[in-house]
Chain A
Amino acid sequence: MHGDDTKLKNLDSRIKEAKSSIKQNNNQNIKPSPIGKVLKLAVEIVAAMAIGVAIGLFLDSYFNTRPLFTIVFFLLGSSAGILNVFRVAKSMQNN
């Protein structure tokens, strides 16, 4: 029983040592590949545009004003996409 205790304490200190040495050199080891980053940006811009156009088409079919809202929301969607890309790119730079 006593031998187990000292063994455990030994192990504990060894784990702590190993952990502190690991922490120094890799805190974030998962990084998306360049292609992954590009895909991420592409998806952001396309998704925002698609949502914009979808809202526009819905409003147009509701109010019978085709193509007024489709055009307006396409432009808004594109701006939202660029805004998204800008934000993602900024967070990528911070990492």
Chain B
Amino acid sequence: MAAEKSTNLIDPIHQFVITRITDIKIGNVDISFTNSSQFMVIATLAIMAFFMLGLSKKSIIPNRFQIMCELSYEFIANLLRTNVGDQGKAFFPFVFSLFMFIFFCNLIGLIPYSFTVTSHFAVTFAFAGLIFIGVTTLGFIKNGFGYLRMFYPSGVPIYMAPVIIPIEIISYLSRPVALSVRLMANMLAGHSIIKIFAGFIVMMGFFGVIPLAGLVAIYALETFIAFLQAYIFTILTCIYLNDALHPHH
């Protein structure tokens, strides 16, 4: 179906189709190398290249590349310090890689003919689900069963407990869904809009200049959203980490 539709010029969803590059199967599990995995690898290599280039010459008066690397480090370090506190330092490598990976995936997805990894719910939910499991485990390790007190806010009368506790548990379970849907929806919507506007340019001929101007503006907005969504994903991870380390409900 995807192949038939590719002839259609304005098919905003076609850019999200996953194609297999090499077929790999272990037992009944399909772990083929797809275009999605290809762009994950590209994003990882881009991050490595970014830091290798930036930090190859460690000078006291840094050049632009080094400033970018140091800014990204300081940005995440500040985020952790303000949201989690000193205990958060242990999680810096994880949070930093998470932010850089999502940010680079979003940015690389903006390059024409590339693929946006983060526009798929499977990918974002894998991130959010793993974070959720990790944070919950951490909460139980750090606080024991006292972590369960999070589901029963202090000051609530006991006869309200049968209602409040399920509500709090559902609210807790909805975190990874909300986290992943937000990132996925933003990427999906943004890229579809870009594609639709690009279609208008072709359709309108000479007057395509008008949607072209709009497209430039949307593209700028999308670049900002690429950063903002990575930031939101990271800051929420920090907030959940903080809840696991110091539950104070």
CA distance A79 to B167 in the complex (A): 7
Q: Is the CB–CB distance between A83 and B167 below 8 Å?
A: yes
Which residues of the partner chain B approach A55 to less than 8 Å between Cβ atoms? Answer: 170, 173
- In whole Å, how far is A72's beta carbon from the nearest beta carbon of chain B? 9
Q: Is the CB–CB distance between B231 and A80 below 8 Å?
A: no
Q: Is the CB–CB distance between B185 and A76 below 8 Å?
A: no
Q: Is the CB–CB distance between A81 and B174 below 8 Å?
A: yes
Which residues of the partner chain B approach A3 to less than 8 Å between Cβ atoms? Answer: none
Contacting residue for A76 out of B170, B178, B181, B182, CB 8 A? B170
Q: Is the CB–CB distance between B181 and A46 below 8 Å?
A: yes
- In whole Å, how far is A84's beta carbon from the nearest beta carbon of chain B? 5
The interface size bin for chain B is: 20 to 34
Does B168 make an interface contact (CB < 8 A)? yes
Does B45 make an interface contact (CB < 8 A)? no
Q: Is the CB–CB distance between B228 and A52 below 8 Å?
A: no
Q: Quick one: given A43-B185, A48-B174, A81-B174, are A36 and B166 in contact (CB under 8 Å)?
A: no
Q: Quick one: given A30-B231, A32-B228, A32-B232, are A51 and B182 in contact (CB under 8 Å)?
A: no
Does B8 make an interface contact (CB < 8 A)? no
Number of interface residues of A (CB under 8 A): 24
Which A residues from 61 to 95 make CB contacts under 8 A with B? Answer: 73, 76-77, 79-81, 83-84
- In whole Å, how far is A43's beta carbon from the nearest beta carbon of chain B? 5
Does B41 make an interface contact (CB < 8 A)? no
Which residues of the partner chain A approach B177 to less than 8 Å between Cβ atoms? Answer: 47, 50-51
Closest to B229 in A: A36
Which residues of the partner chain B approach A80 to less than 8 Å between Cβ atoms? Answer: 167-168, 170-171, 174
Q: Is the CB–CB distance between A51 and B173 below 8 Å?
A: yes
CA distance A50 to B178 in the complex (A): 10
Which residues of the partner chain A approach B166 to less than 8 Å between Cβ atoms? Answer: 73, 76
Which residues of the partner chain B approach A46 to less than 8 Å between Cβ atoms? Answer: 181
Chain B residues with a Cβ under 8 A of chain A: 60-61, 163, 166-168, 170-171, 173-175, 177-178, 181-182, 185-186, 225, 228, 231-232
